[in-house]
Structure 1
Amino acid sequence: MKLVPVWIYIENGTFLEAKSFGVLGTKIGEMNFNSAMTGYQEILTDPSYAGQFVVSTMPEVGIVGTNADDMESSNIHASGMIVRKINANSSNFRSQKNIINFLHEHGGFGICDIDTRYLTKMIRDNGSKMMVASTEISDKTALKAILDAAPNRENIDYTKQVTTSSVYVHKLARWDEASLSYRDAKNSLNKKVVVLDFGVKKSILSELCESGLEVEVAPASTSAKSLISRFKNGEISGVLLSCGPGNPLILKEAIEEIKLLIKEKLPMLGIGLGHQLISIAHGHSASKLKFGQHGDNYPVKNIKTGSVKISTQNYNYNVSESVCKIATSTHINLFSEAIAGLKYNDSPIISVQYHPEGGPGPHENRDIFQTFVSML
């Protein structure tokens, strides 16, 4: 395993040297830490991580390798992954290639042999930081100039980079441990939902199929007018607004379209970015967190039942508490005490900030999909 030097400049002036195990080049992104102990392949291929360097708090990464079945999308979307130690010797019966070959195949950027605890504490204490990493440029001043000239991440519409370019139907349901394959979708309910793809994960689509729905995935720019027409004609039963990357406040066109869906009372489920967009479309803003919530070990409490479940989360923005004037808070994040789920009072709309599909992570929050089905 041959590693090459990589130089890192962080916006607070920190300059570091480490090793690169992915493709060569220069990459810019926002540095955030992720507390998941497993699931690095799912994290890298989750479109919600577009524009982010993911610092893994797990000290050693790569031991289970990678495989085609665990892809959350067709490619790597994270700017890069940063790990303490990389293990190229994968040891898992499902592994098809090691993490290094995987990154090279998909154009992924990898950094290792660096103190990830130091980086995690920096983010925890001072907030998320923009950074540039390069295997080509070793001069601190030159790297600073590149980072200074980069566009503000908060003004980049990453959904345009990750959304599907054409409509398609997802035909696979939940993963079956016995056969080690995905079950075929059955459409047992004879109902169709449209997923507006702001950066959807394959696991979410599979959970919808597992619920008995026919699942059509459409570009994020799909007009509300067309969806409303299809709903009134009985062609579709509801809409899911998917998770996705970036700043929800700049998605002005999407917000205006969602307002129309709300007005017509289409049944909707929002996840992640979709959760934020529904709140904003109702006139209640969102604010950026100091360093967000990224990992698969976040406790979420169901306010009605009092039960606590562990969830997967990846977000940098919280919805405003003022949304509770028009909606009921159904779930709360026990780490941050932020709103984690909403049920709108006068509309057939629910939303969650966390990832109920758990890819990667626990699967105990899948009941949200059944709640959505009951609304259709």
Structure 2
Amino acid sequence: MKAYIYIENDLFMTANAFGAKGTFFGELVFNTSMSGYQEIISDPSYAGQFIVFSMPEIGIVGTNDDDNESKEIFTSGIFIREFNKNYSNFRAKKSLNEYLKEHGKIGVYDIDTRFLVKMIRDSGNLNCVVSTEISNKEKLKELLKSSKKIDEVNWVAKVSTKKPYKHQQGVWNTANKAFNKAKKCVKKLAVLDYGVKTNILNELVEVGFEVEVFPHNTKADELIKLYDSGKIEAIFLSNGPGEPKNLKDEIKELKKLIDKKIPMLGICLGHQLLSNAFGYETYKMKFGQHGANHPVLNQENKRIEITAQNHNYNVPEEICEVAIITHRNLFGDNVEGVRYKNYPIISVQHHPESSSGPHESKYIFKEFMSLL
């Protein structure tokens, strides 16, 4: 089937499509990862965005039941150069086409993704509409103009769990070809779910946390009550999609948790929300940082870590007034990690769970355990 694409810079294109039929809206971002497309597609942080893969060959390893980062797919769709309809991998259960169709998302292929990546790099993230139903450029233009922008939607409310649940699965064990079982609990942890990835939960369990996941709008008073009674000993603030400054209620509740000096770890959106709660507003980057090959300098041991990234927003340099900057991104020299002064709170912008991506930052989960 054919896909008709209109981008807000007035670019109109035609390409081939697979997956679901329909009309889809989103913001174009590019991802530079060489592998792990299923983990990327199922990351809730991509809600409301089209992922343009710079890696030209996508689909060759199919999909399986164990690599999902979420039960649903929240990305608007994907753009790829070469679509491999036939897959070959011993873990695969279905094709990428079946996977997208099952989740109601579109894939676009036979398109010059190198051109799109350069365009996004030069112009910044652009809004886009993709349709298998409407071929008229002017009609697509009007539809895109009247659609909501990503910053105008509370995506966190859409991706977060609706009720608390316990997570008891550890990391994938390659030798046993299964997930590790939960270890003996060392500390009890509450996870505020802004769009948490499954492998983050796996890593938390792996280092010894007893993990219970709570909805994004859980009141601080409820968590403080659990903390005072010893039912939780720390809080994790997860990754997630959208504009952090829009989450005014979540930021208000975070301020109460900060005042209580409860130990906390924030990753990605959680890192950004902490910055806003401390009074340092985040800003939107030109085209964000998305990929599994971003070098980050650990300021404390001077080692360079290759990291996985997925974010459009970042914390300001002024955060150094209340926090020690522990990590810096070497692609843009932006703040990548902090340790707050006078508070048992640390946070990082990148994804130490490395799914997909390198494992060089996994120590952060152990570091958080040591903090307790």
- Measured against the shorter chain, the TM-score band is over 0.9
Q: What TM-score, normalized by structure 2, do the two folds share?
A: 0.99
The 3-state SS of whatever aligns with 1:279 is helix
What pairs with 1:1-376 in structure 2 (closer than 5 Å)?
A: 4-189=1-186, 191-376=187-372
Could you list the structure 1 runs, at least 4 aligned residues long, displaced by more than 4 angstroms after superposition: none
In structure 2, distance between residues paired with 1:133 and 1:29 = 9
Cα deviation, 1:336-356, whole Å, max 9, x if unaligned, reads: 100000000010000000000
In structure 2, distance between residues paired with 1:51 and 1:110 = 14
Please say if residues 187 and 209 of structure 1, whose CA atoms lie closer than 8 Å, have aligned partners that are also in contact. Answer: no
What is the Cα deviation at residue 188 of structure 1?
3.3
Letter in 2 for 1:326: V
What is the Cα deviation at residue 153 of structure 1?
1.7
The 3-state SS of whatever aligns with 1:148 is helix
In structure 1, distance between residues paired with 2:184 and 2:306 = 29
What is the Cα deviation at residue 229 of structure 1?
1.0
In the alignment of these two chains, the number of paired residues is 372
5+ residue gaps, structure 2, are: none
In structure 1, distance between residues paired with 2:173 and 2:148 = 43
Cα deviation, 1:259-282, whole Å, max 9, x if unaligned, reads: 000000000000000000000000
5+ residue gaps, structure 1, are: none
What is the Cα deviation at residue 232 of structure 1?
1.1
The 3-state SS of whatever aligns with 1:203 is helix
The 3-state SS of whatever aligns with 1:69 is coil
What is the Cα deviation at residue 300 of structure 1?
0.8
The percentage of aligned residue pairs carrying the same residue is 50
Letter in 1 for 2:93: Q
What is the Cα deviation at residue 233 of structure 1?
1.1
The 3-state SS of whatever aligns with 2:66 is helix
Cα deviation, 1:168-216, whole Å, max 9, x if unaligned, reads: 0001001100011101112331x21010000000000000000011000
Letter in 1 for 2:328: I
Q: What TM-score, normalized by structure 1, do the two folds share?
A: 0.98
Letter in 1 for 2:23: T
What is the Cα deviation at residue 60 of structure 1?
1.0
- Cα RMSD between the aligned structures? 0.7
In structure 2, distance between residues paired with 1:54 and 1:171 = 31
In structure 2, distance between residues paired with 1:35 and 1:106 = 23
